[in-house]
A and B are shown apart, each in its own frame.
Chain A
Amino acid sequence: MANGGLKDDFSLSITVGGDAGQGVESSGALFTQALARGGWHVFGVPDYRSRIRGGHNFFQIRAARRPSLSHSDPVHLLLAYTRETIDVHKPNLAQGAAIIYDDGFRVDAAALEAEGFVPIPAPLTKIAEEHGSKLMINTGAVAAACGVLGFPLEPLVRLLHDTYGHKGKKIVEGNASVARAAYAWAVERYPGRLAYRLAEPGEVGEKTQPSQPGRELMVLTGNEAFCLGAVVGGCTFVSAYPMTPATPILEWFAARERELSVVAKHAEDEIAAVCMAIGAGFVGARAMVPTSGGGFSLMAEALGMAGMCEVPVVIVNVQRGGPSTGLPTRTEQGDLLFVLHASQGEFPRIVLAPGTHEQYFEAGWRAFNLAEKYQCPVIVLSDQFLAAARKSLPLDALTLDGVSIDRGALLSATELDRLDGPYRRYAMTETGVSPRALPGHPKAVFTVTTDEHGEDGHITEEIDLRVAMMDKRMRKLEAALADMRGPDLYGPEDADVTLICWGSTVGPAREALPLLAGQGVTANVLHFTDIWPFPVHKAEMALQGVRRAIAVEQNHTAQFARLLRMMTGFQVNGSVRKYDGRPFSPQQIAARALVEVGARV
């Protein structure tokens, strides 16, 4: 075994904390990536406030022998960029946890020791100033943490070269020197005598887990995985108005607009953004609009336009804490019932709620296929937790397997050439899907309107036609049901308790299963990703063996449990809900599920 005696389920949590503006997230990202390069599976969660400077931010990293599905509590190593960080995070630290901080802070080390922690005042400012510049203090801090953990320095130094290479030799060398000095300092002072290490006591860092060629791990956020999925899904048009936590999607495409030939338009507001995408979708682009709840609210009327005019468009709602401006940088699953019902009247829409990075990637291309196949808006419902979490994945976790570009009933120019008789955009069909022409062909000149219309797209108020058109549009939902997946079951098939979740809660919920097992409760997880049209039959089949159902959701009212009841009549026995803006940890789910099932702890 490469890593001495560390068990397969070994996992260690690290928190980097400090003030906004101190580079907490970039330190966290650097650390996460370095760990992955050293062969560790990582899961990093940023926690930051909606301000540019000041206020406490932190980044929690989990390093594990096997792939992680979420972060994990408690924390074994705290990297404190401010004195306040120590007080904030003490309650979440494991006994024996190490606390690294600048030796210039006025910290009562003896008191920390008395509380069972290992204070590590490090000369971080001094080392940065001596070996590089004061700005490189975070590099030194991460390197010192590596030294304390018994993690090799080499992956970090290599990463510094790759990260700062474009900034010139001086910056790269400076950072590398600071890292080496801080690492040496830590290894010398704390030679493997800490309780929590990424190596067995006595092992030298270099002997731990080298990253094996061909087994490299990539580290990317959920939003980044989604962007890759949208690229392979043929996305050619992105329009958006910046709104946390969806902004990185527009920025990702804007940075690659030239390379990928995808229009990336920063619009004047969300109404413009979605309308631009609808205009682009109408003429044949694969168009999408990333936003968060506030932006989605503004898009409600246009959503109905896409439904009524049968224009394919993909809207990504990366949920954050609501209501209103709410908790701008934090997570929630509060928009479920809203996105299902937003906009006046009834029209077909498809809603996907990916729960993992892999599923978010998949949603990237599936959404475009579904939008064109059923000629309707498709909403991808994610959240800040999934969007911003940095997860390590082997390269073959995101592949082209199963990826196709299905443009549905789109008529080619040659097919249109052969058309005799006038083109009818909304021709009545059995599935409700009408053969679709794009404007620009002489044989298919047509108008569409948000008013009720006939087959040729002209306004009508005629009763029979109205009813027929409503039926035609709604039939598409029945057809789309065939493409909706039922819930996935994780854990033992036969279990006393079933945790029912949707979207991103699947990660921590699955991680809670062994914790529950440890308490004598056999549990499994039933996870829904395809929300609308609701896969009623598949859900009913999956629910048949459920003995006690606990809904696990990041909202106040257990919205999915309500949907489930509405669609299937199934009633959960209890719910674990969270709406403080912070993602569930597996430990929180396990503890609260135990209370719900009334088990003795």
Chain B
Amino acid sequence: MFDGANGQASGGTRRVDGQAHGPSSRAPNGVLDLKTYSSPYKPTWCPGCGDFGILSAIKAALVELEIWPHEVLIVSGIGCGSKLPQYLYANGFMTIHGRPLAVATGAKLANPQLHVMVVNGDGDSYGIGGNHFLHTCRRNPDITHIVENNQIYALTKGQYSPTSDVGFRTTTSPEGVFEMPVNPVAVALAAGAGFVARSFAGEPKHLKQMIMAAMQHPGYALVDVLQPCVAFNKVNTYNWYAERIYDVANDDSYDPTSLRDAWERGTEWGERIPIGILYRREGVPPYENYVPALKDGPPVERDLSARLDPELLERLKRAYV
């Protein structure tokens, strides 16, 4: 289709062919396997928490895509799930509640060579960070966004979240929620996201595939992950999800490049919950490709001493004479 003002994918370092490449000149020797990503710190999550599966799937996806820890930056917010960058060996930035997409966007624009991933909870992403979610979808920077959607505010010990279903009782909804839940898939589609997938923390293989596909997609890619919180969400349990999910990939008639199909399935929630790649737009380059300042390479690699060239200042001053 078209590839942006900057010509080729200079901003995007990820290729659609799955060949990941970062600052490879500095690639370390040795083998890249799951151990490469292991951190000395053990997760503080509750035993059985869905976040364990998400952590494993992210590591597996990175290894399979041959991305080294120094080539990736995982940005998170605040919440149980947002602690994830602490539990693997990779660059990480655990920011403030609701803001990781904005921090990640800045990092990506300043250094498009990094594989930038955002991992945060449903409250972080769709509640307090809702504005950033909306605008990142339509902006389309090359960021992979993995949401640990447990339909609850877990770290604060069990209040309802934007994705909690109607009737769900929590400490802040003692008579049951009576707000309509956010459907992240529908919102992302409406906001113009180019890649929208859903997966389940209890399906590690599927989850890994979704993360890989999202990372290979040039541009913003959402993977909303159904994540059981065994401590505070006694309704949306492993079984609850397992009984409902079905993979759209098993349906030959489903066309993930069709917005119409995506909308139909994406709005489905309740008795049956579709998982898989629900929408994938092809041929649209990421936001970075249009950013004029990135035509000269990553801003972090600029030779700043060029700014001390007297001719530059003279030229700028002359405009005011």
Interface set of B (CB-CB < 8 Å, partner A): 22-23, 26-28, 41, 68-71, 73, 75, 78, 83, 85-86, 89-96, 99, 102-111, 113-114, 131-132, 134-135, 291-296, 299-300, 302, 304-305, 307-308, 310, 312-314, 316-318, 320-321
Contact = CB atoms under 8 A, between A and B. Distances in A.
B194 to A, nearest CB: 18
A281 B115 CA distance: 17
Given A284-B110, A447-B85, A279 B102 contact: yes
25 contacts: A217-B321, A218-B318, A231-B313, A231-B316, A237-B109, A239-B106, A260-B293, A263-B294, A265-B109, A272-B99, A275-B96, A275-B99, A275-B132, A280-B110, A281-B106, A285-B110, A285-B300, A287-B110, A302-B99, A405-B304, A440-B114, A441-B23, A442-B68, A445-B91, A447-B94
Contacts of B104: 279
B26 A400 contact: no
User: Which residue of A267, A404, A442 has the most chain B CB atoms within 10 A of its CB atom?
Assistant: A442
A257 B131 contact: no
A451 interface: yes
Contact of B106 (A232, A258, A277, A417): A277
Interface string A243-262: 00000000000000110111
Contact of A231 (B28, B96, B307): B307
Q: State the majority secondary structure of interface residues on B.
A: helix
B95 A283 contact: no
Nearest to B22: A440
A79 interface: no
A487 B314 CA distance: 30
Nearest to B103: A279
A573 interface: no
A315 B284 CA distance: 34
Contacts, number: 218
A154 B196 CA distance: 64
B106 A228 contact: no
Given A285-B111, A445-B89, 15 more contacts: A224-B320, A228-B313, A231-B313, A236-B300, A237-B110, A261-B302, A263-B294, A279-B106, A284-B110, A285-B300, A398-B313, A399-B313, A400-B308, A440-B23, A440-B91
A257 B294 CA distance: 9
B205 to A, nearest CB: 27
A272 B132 contact: yes
Interface string A268-279: 110111011111
Interface string A290-313: 000000000001101100010000
Given A258-B292, A261-B299, A450 B96 contact: yes
B299 A285 contact: yes
A453 B75 CA distance: 16
Interface of A: 37, 216-220, 224, 228, 231-234, 236-237, 239, 257-258, 260-265, 267-269, 271-273, 275-287, 301-302, 304-305, 309, 395, 398-400, 403-405, 407, 413, 417, 438-451, 458-459
Contacts of A278: 95, 103, 106
B102 to A, nearest CB: 3
Contacts of A286: 304
B112 to A, nearest CB: 10
A5 B282 CA distance: 75
A447 B22 CA distance: 18
A440 to B, nearest CB: 5
B111 A276 contact: no
Given A269-B131, A439-B73, A447 B102 contact: no
B299 A447 contact: no
B27 A283 contact: no
B310 to A, nearest CB: 6
A312 to B, nearest CB: 12
B109 A276 contact: yes
Contact of A237 (B94, B103, B106, B321): B106
Closest CB pairs A-B (n = 4):
A279-B106, A276-B106, A447-B92, A275-B102
A543 B78 CA distance: 47
A263 B291 contact: yes
Contacts of A405: 304-305, 307-308
Contacts of B135: 267-268, 272
Contacts of B68: 442
A458 B109 contact: no
Contact of B103 (A224, A276, A304): A276
Contacts of B134: 268
A228 B316 contact: yes
A287 B314 CA distance: 23
A440 B299 CA distance: 14
A413 B301 CA distance: 11
